[in-house]
Amino acid sequence: MVVAIACDHGGFPLKALLIEEIRRSGAEPLDLGAFREEPLDDYPDYAIAVGQAIHSGRAGEGILICGSGVGASVAANKLPGIRAGLCHDTFSAHQGREDDDCNVLCLGARVVGPSLAVEITRVWLAAKFSGAERHRRRVDKVRALEKQWKS
Ligand code: RB5
């Protein structure tokens, strides 16, 4: 599994640690920047990079980090096929995968410390969609919503 990862300047302090965690999980990180702490960069650009990597099949899932995680999740959820969840606790991290089939984890480096961020990432990477009928139905409704609102 390839996991795309990207951050803006607000998320930069966490990115290297989370790349290590992706490797520890047995997955391959695809680092889409930022490659240095550039105070004028914009989180939507990184959300687009991760969304495109998933859309094209270069990555199966992704991680986005900004200062709060909010901007990254708002931007990522505008992209077709992306179900991004902002998770600052391990319960949301695994439930967002098991029930909601999230394919992008968003984190805020100004909200969670490095140890918690690594733990959330570990839990998120290990969790999988349950496939339960009621959850499929709900995710299908989300997909339908995306199609409906495109027009
Ligand atoms: C950048 O300063 C900050 O606004 C951004 O990283 C993020 O927190 C937005 O939600």
Among 9, 66, 110, the mutation site with the greatest number of ligand 1 atoms within 8 A of its Cβ is 66
pLDDT higher than threshold 70 for residue 141: yes
pLDDT higher than threshold 80 for residue 150: no
Residue 10, ligand 1, Cβ within 6 A:
yes
Residue 137 burial by Cβ neighbours in a 10 Å radius (0-12, 13-18, 19+): exposed
102 is catalytic: no
Task: Give the mean pLDDT of 44-62.
Answer: 98
Residue-wise pLDDT for 119-137, tens only, equals: 999 999 999 999 999 999 9
Supply the residue whose CA is at minimum distance from atom 2 of ligand 1.
10
Which architecture, in CATH terms, is 2-148?
Answer: 3-Layer(aba) Sandwich (3.40)
pLDDT for 70: 98
Task: Give the mean pLDDT of 52-78.
Answer: 98
pLDDT higher than threshold 60 for residue 117: yes
Q: Where are the domains of the chain?
A: 2-148
